[in-house]
């Protein structure tokens, strides 16, 4: 299983990667805009270059559906073995994705909501389809929709990347149905390890270990 940080803020990304259980980074244009990445980077290429240096895992970079060549050119000569290009799940994205797959790029179709869309992307042999689970829930029938998408992809090499996961309950459901690639925001990532019961047990263990150490020290 792999967890990804969904952010374009360098401070958040660094903190997430420092947690030790975050595999990589997923980015979309909305996140780039919110982070105002142009203020600290000379270009998109320099931004993604920094991310690839910070992260040992995959970095997902989304391209424009209307001007894909411009965005792709900005990513050229980077470490394409770890850079996954996200293509919007619209008609104009199909030919772009096909071209990228044919050229050996790792491709993720993003904003996939229906099994029929998943059929198209699996037939194109893309590496991932990204579903926006929280938004699916707001539209209704999210659980059935995701299961149907997974069924479509079960005989292909295309993997499901669950994005827009906002709560522990959503995360537990997605893991429970077998999704191995999940991207979430920093706030939820940081809270995953938290448990009042674990804190209580750890406090007891630490106190007992202190007693054991003191007992041994009296023997020497």
pLDDT at 66: 86
pLDDT value at 151 more than 80: yes
Mean per-residue pLDDT of the chain: 94
Reported as a single tens digit per residue, the pLDDT across 126-140 is 999 999 999 998 888
**How far, in Å, are 29, 39, 45, 73, 106 from residue 64 at the CA level?**
8, 20, 15, 12, 16
pLDDT value at 77 more than 90: no
Tell me whether residue 217 is in a domain.
Answer: no
Tell me whether residue 129 is in a domain.
Answer: yes
Identify the domain containing residue 177 by its residue range. Answer: 2-194
Query: To the nearest whole percent, how much of the chain has pLDDT over 70?
Result: 100
- Do 162 and 142 contact (CB within 8 A), yes or no? no
Tell me whether residue 208 is in a domain.
Answer: no
Tell me whether residue 61 is in a domain.
Answer: yes
Among 207, 117, 206, 113, which residue's Cα sits nearest to residue 163? Answer: 113
| Rounded mean pLDDT, 149-165 | 95
Into how many domains does the chain fold?
Answer: 1
Tell me whether residue 212 is in a domain.
Answer: no
pLDDT value at 9 more than 90: yes
Tell me whether residue 108 is in a domain.
Answer: yes
Tell me whether residue 214 is in a domain.
Answer: no
pLDDT value at 69 more than 90: no
Q: What is the pTM of this model?
A: 0.89
pLDDT value at 24 more than 90: yes
Predicted confidence band at 50 (pLDDT cuts at 50, 70, 90)? very high
pLDDT value at 74 more than 90: no
Predicted confidence band at 58 (pLDDT cuts at 50, 70, 90)? very high
Q: What is the CATH number of the domain that holds 106?
A: 3.20.20.70
With b meaning 16 or more CB within 10 Å and e meaning fewer, what string describes 131-159?
A: bbbbebbeeeebeebbeebbebbeebebb
């Amino acid at each position: 299983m792999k967890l990804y940080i969904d952010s374009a803020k360098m401070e958040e990304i660094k903190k997430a990667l420092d947690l030790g259980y975050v595999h990589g980074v997923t980015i979309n244009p909305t996140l780039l805009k919110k982070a105002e990445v142009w203020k600290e980077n000379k270009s998109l290429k320099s931004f993604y270059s920094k991310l690839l240096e910070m992260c040992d895992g995959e970095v997902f970079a989304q391209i424009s559906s209307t001007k894909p060549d411009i965005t792709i050119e900005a990513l050229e000569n980077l470490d394409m073995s770890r850079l996954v290009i996200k293509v919007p799940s619209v008609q104009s994205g199909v030919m772009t994705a096909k071209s990228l797959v044919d050229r050996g790029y790792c491709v993720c179709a993003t904003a996939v909501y229906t099994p029929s869309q998943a059929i198209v992307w699996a037939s194109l042999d893309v590496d991932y389809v990204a579903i926006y689970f929280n938004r699916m829930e707001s539209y209704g029938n999210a659980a059935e929709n995701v299961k149907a998408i997974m069924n479509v992809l079960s005989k292909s090499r295309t993997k499901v990347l669950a994005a827009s996961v906002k709560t522990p309950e959503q995360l537990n459901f997605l893991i429970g149905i077998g999704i191995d690639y999940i991207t979430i925001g920093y706030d939820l990532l940081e809270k995953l390890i938290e448990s009042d019961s674990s804190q209580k047990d750890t406090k007891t263990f630490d106190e007992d270990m202190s007693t054991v150490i003191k007992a041994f020290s009296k023997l020497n």
